[in-house]
Structure 1
Amino acid sequence: MTTNRLPDGTTLLLVALCLALVAVPIAATQDSATLSLSSAEAESASDTVTVTLAADGSDVAGYQANVTFDPSVVQVQRVSGADYSDPVQNVDNEAGWVFLTQSQANGVDDPQLATITFEVVGSAGERSTLSFVESDTRVNDAAGAHVDVSLDSGTVSVADGAGVTAHGDGSQATADGGGEDPAAGTANQQVGSGTATPGGAAGGNGTGLSTPMLVGGAAALLAGGVLLGRRAS
């Protein structure tokens, strides 16, 4: 009985092909993506800010995310889609979380998944961390396979108003000297019935004459009266 043997080169090629076929699904499971939330600063309490939920990865076709926040600082006002359609969402502003999920047939590279608009209910200087609940957050590719996900949190902060000075007339000036200063008004601004001088002194007699002029005139009249009295005597 004769046994045909494959040449050594052919055997090695078959082994290499088998290893390649085994390695392909292993390599696919090693793909990963990063879900991130942007940060924002509100100018004041009662303001609204919008943050973006984005994925850094290739062939992203679906996601779900559970995002927590401090309900004493911010409240979810609206959730909208970005590169994806509006997500299915569930919001609990009392407990401080929002769950959102969406998927599509085709994968997208580095998509902006959704936007979350918050209303600020906290005070100046406060901030809320926006965090993911890891067990409720995942990403899948166009084949429906889950990929490894890393998570980057965001923050919403409320400006503390430092460096802003309020004037009595409601105008403001910043610490660097910007803004309108009402003290630097027109030199001839009317005060009552008198006239304001560049130095800030104002006459109160309505004639525009300063106090030294009035005193000098009175002294001259008094001196003239004394001389006339002496001549008359």
Structure 2
Amino acid sequence: MTGESSDGKDNVLIVHWHDLGRYLGVYGHPDVVSPRLDQLAAEGILFTRAHATAPLCSPSRGSLFTGRYPQTNGLVGLAHHGWEYRSGVRTLPQLLGEQGWYSALFGMQHETSYPARLGFDEFDVSNSYCEYVVEKAREWLQDCVPDLSGQPFLLTAGFFETHRPYPHERYEPADSAGVDVPTISPTPPKCARTWPISTEPSPPRTPQSGESWTHSTKLDWTPAPGWCS
């Protein structure tokens, strides 16, 4: 989502989640109710033909923020397993910073064990649950942006949801009987009978599937003044 600074350069807001995929109302999902995020997509940029460069968190995020394939930027494994960008690889906040943008990150990042390496002018990665991140972003937009005196900014808000675990004290599980389980490739058959978040073979419909959709909806109901209402 973009807006415009006083000098005509776009302000940029990047909102990203863990393991969310297309499980939102704006993409036509029948089980997730997300009117605020649908509105955000309608007023911003909605990608309908995008794809991930890797089936793993850190490499995929690394490509998003560098514009380079994992085998090129060096981030081919999970950051908490020691993988890092190659020396000299520049990130989006670094590139925009060279052109006059101020950058801030609140919440989730999984590209490095050293957040300062990412090139943001300021960051808070101490908590990545939605309530905290939304409040930090809201405060920053209200209190700090005016001090930029029209300087364009990049604001990145990263959420841990919808990654495991799904604690019941945070998210009331949905009724799994009313959830349409995503299609799983029928071959090989043994894999098709194993739900991805379980370590044992299980029937296609599980309580975890319902909790996953509840997790997605949780992202939407966290309102903040100045955001979509």
The answer to whether the superposition gives a TM-score over 0.5 is no
TM-score when scaled to structure 1? Answer: 0.26
In terms of fraction of residues, the more strand-rich structure is 1
Larger relative contact order (CA 8 Å, sep ≥ 6): 2
TM-score when scaled to structure 2? Answer: 0.26
**Which structure has the bigger radius of gyration?**
1
In terms of fraction of residues, the more helix-rich structure is 2
